[in-house]
Structure 1
Amino acid sequence: MSDVLRGLEPRIVWDIFERISAIPRCSKKEERVKEFLEAWAKENGVGFQKDGVGNVILIREAAPSCEGYPTLMMQGH
């Protein structure tokens, strides 16, 4: 774990961030990070789909009692 990320919470978010950051993914060469996201989604029971231009979209339903909360969408490039 890098010193920059040590101690940040929630820990699971920063662990995943560090794993993604370790994958080379320059423009037009994102296959490995797409494969990581798909595998992570399958391992963790998170739905996903791919659109026509190759974006990987992870879909997580709201937890019980949180259905009325606003939808959250995160994007990175």
Structure 2
Amino acid sequence: MEATSLDLRFILVLVLLLNPTFAEDCIIDIGWVVFCTKRLCKFSCWGEGLIKKGKVRDYWCSDFHGCNCLICRGS
């Protein structure tokens, strides 16, 4: 009886920890800028984060004109 009770508690803890409502919803937004520098890309991503009501997790330049933003919403 003790083993089944322990198993049920373990499964309950796993279900509560793996709740998908706590997961972040992230997108990668690719924007176009005239000349991509780290500072200009950060500013552009900050604006996109405000528009999309998210938080900028990362940003990088992919080429001369491409600015990539990782924007996440959630916890």
TM-score, structure 1 as length reference: 0.34
Normalized per residue, the structure richer in helix is: 2
TM-score, structure 2 as length reference: 0.34
